[in-house]
Amino acid sequence: MNLLIKNANVFNGKQAALQKHANIVIEHKLVKAIVGGSVAEDVFDVVYDAGNLTVIPGLTDAHVHLSITGNTLSDGWRIDEKAVRSVRFAKEMLLRGFTTVRDAGGITFGLKKNIDNGFLDGPRILPSNSMISQTSGHGDIRASHAEERITDGIYASADLKSRLSIIADGAEEVTRAVREQLFLGASQIKIMAGGGFSSAYDPISTVQFSLEEMKAAVGAAADYGTYVMAHLYTPQSMQRAAQAGVKCFEHATLLDEATARIVADLGIWITPGPQLSRAYPTDGLPKSSIKLIERFREGEKNATELIDKYNLPILYGTDAFGDVQRAADIQHDDFRIYKQRFGSFRGIVAATGNVHELIKFSTYQNPYPDGKIGVLEEGSFADLLIVNGNPVEDLDVLADATNIRFIMKDAVVYKNTL
């Protein structure tokens, strides 16, 4: 099918200046050309009039967990329940304008396959498959000390049984765990390299995986042409991960000057998703928790300054998981926070053009090699939004869902209020 979108002011995902009064020509799910002047409309099957609104590439959330759709530790969901719930999670992300997501760990194989073959509606998924964790690491999601490892790969924990995450200790186990995710088509590997908030047995300051174990993960991924992304917060974890060859840091909230220089020198990417800069209720929390929250809020301010000072490449990632309404709120509202931290232009590029560059790290593990993601130019997938205003100049535009007037993925229209 041949489509035309006329009267478009096009943001290509990379340059701040819009291409005004342009025509976007789409053939066979790809952008064939973006041209000015008049175009003969009668040769197209469908013509959409953008009405001189802004057309941008489909958005990418580079850190989501599609199969974590609630408090699974308390609810004890089976693997089939997780899979079913992820269908709604995925579709609603598409309807918010996210035509691609990078899943940072979870159960996505069947979901991705059935979105890609057209059976389900949802975004393109760049899958990590199971998060890889050490014992007593951030991915050791046992709910209590009573949930034991029965034998290798067999647990009393429903979450570990579902392979939401996988526990691996020692270089040999880590290598095998990485290869299992690659077998399932991982476009990148996710490791847990430091402590976190949402697990019970790994304080924030813990440094997880030895250098040898991290190098094993990086080496096994590199053998398949792809890269490792790592959950971490502290300089100690970041510096070890940098030494091991990890390419993308998730959170990196407590980034310091020495680590920022290392990150800049090695060309490491950061997904600095806001967590505690959002409203966070502290009523009833112990003083130790309140102190930790204050530390992280200060850390985010400092990390923002260092990312700007060293011009570190960033991605838009919200860590959307859990309650469905919470995910909906933060995926829009975090654009407001990215604008405050990094400015509108850097914020919109983090969700578009930077993704195009990041995917190059996946080489032949990129599950969507037939078109470009994150940009609007010849050869791009026909994944695009038409929005009120200009998010390049004011990223708050994307914080309001009503400003997204038109959503297209793979040349299929999922929303049209033009």
pLDDT at 325: 87
Containing 306, the helix (H) or strand (E) segment is helix 287-309
> In this structure, how many other beta carbons lie within 10 angstroms of the beta carbon of residue 120?
17
Predicted model pTM: 0.95
- CATH 3.20.20.140 location in the chain: 59-365
Residue type for position 169: D
Count, residues in the chain: 418
Which segments within 193-247 are labelled E, that is strand?
A: 228-232
> Rounded CA gap, 355 and 375, in Å?
8
Q: Exposed, middle or buried: residue 59 (CB in 10 Å: 0-12, 13-18, 19+)?
A: buried
CATH number of the domain located at residue range(s) 59-365 in this protein: 3.20.20.140
**Residue 372 DSSP class:** B
Phi then psi for residue 235, to 5 deg, are: -60, -35
| Tokens (6 digits) for 132 | 């890889």
Residue type for position 112: K
Give pLDDT tens digits along the chain (418 positions): 899 999 999 999 999 999 999 999 999 999 999 999 889 999 999 999 999 999 999 999 999 999 988 765 545 678 888 899 999 999 999 999 999 999 999 999 999 999 999 999 999 999 999 999 998 888 877 766 666 665 666 666 666 767 788 999 999 999 999 999 999 999 999 999 999 876 678 888 899 999 999 999 999 999 999 999 999 999 999 999 999 999 999 999 999 999 999 999 999 999 998 776 677 666 677 777 778 888 888 999 999 999 999 999 999 999 998 888 888 999 999 999 999 999 999 999 999 999 999 999 999 999 999 999 999 999 999 999 999 999 999 999 999 999 999 999 999 999 999 9
Q: Got the DSSP string for 143-181?
A: SSTT--EEETTEES-HHHHTTSEEE--SHHHHHHHHHHH
Residue type for position 76: G
Question: Among 276, 376, 98, 62, which residue's Cα sits nearest to residue 190?
Answer: 62
**From 3.90.870.30, 3.40.190.10, 2.30.40.10, 3.20.20.140, which CATH number describes the 2-58+375-416 domain?**
2.30.40.10
pLDDT at 415: 98
The strand pair at 404-409 and 384-387 is best described as antiparallel
pLDDT at 357: 98
- CATH 2.30.40.10 location in the chain: 2-58+375-416
pLDDT at 158: 65
| Tokens (6 digits) for 37 | 């002047």
> Rounded CA gap, 85 and 158, in Å?
16
Which segments within 46-181 are labelled E, that is strand?
A: 46-49, 54-57, 59-64, 98-103, 124-127, 131-133, 149-151, 154-155, 165-167
pLDDT at 309: 98
